[in-house]
């Protein structure tokens, strides 16, 4: 099971709130990108996870990614 930081790192801002994609530790030596509590990606390096999160946070809402994830 994934071991997640209690305070994952928020990367970038969306509007005035925190970015929906955050990074945190995954298991022992990896980094993960999360959307809320959902695992999106796993990387070896923190900089890689931060870049993935930054690019996902930069996607315009027209792509429907953020709405689809939170529509539940």
Counting the structural domains of the chain, the total is 1
Per-residue confidence (pLDDT) for residue 19, from 0 to 100: 78
Instruction: Read off the pLDDT band of 1 (50, 70, 90).
Output: very low
Within a domain: residue 3?
no
Domain that holds residue 15: 9-71
Residue with tokens 């695992």: 39
Within a domain: residue 19?
yes
Which residues touch 16 (CB under 8 Å, ≥6 apart)?
none
Over residues 31-46, the pLDDT tens digits come to 999 999 999 999 999 9
Which residues touch 25 (CB under 8 Å, ≥6 apart)?
3, 4, 5, 31, 32
Instruction: Read off the pLDDT band of 17 (50, 70, 90).
Output: low
């Amino acid at each position: 099971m994934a071991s997640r930081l209690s305070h994952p790192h928020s990367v970038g801002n969306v509007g005035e709130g925190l970015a929906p994609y955050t990074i945190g530790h995954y298991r022992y030596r990896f980094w993960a990108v999360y959307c809320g509590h959902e695992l999106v990606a796993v990387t070896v390096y923190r900089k890689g996870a931060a870049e993935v999160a930054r690019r996902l946070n930069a996607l315009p809402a027209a792509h429907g990614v953020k709405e689809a994830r939170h529509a539940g």
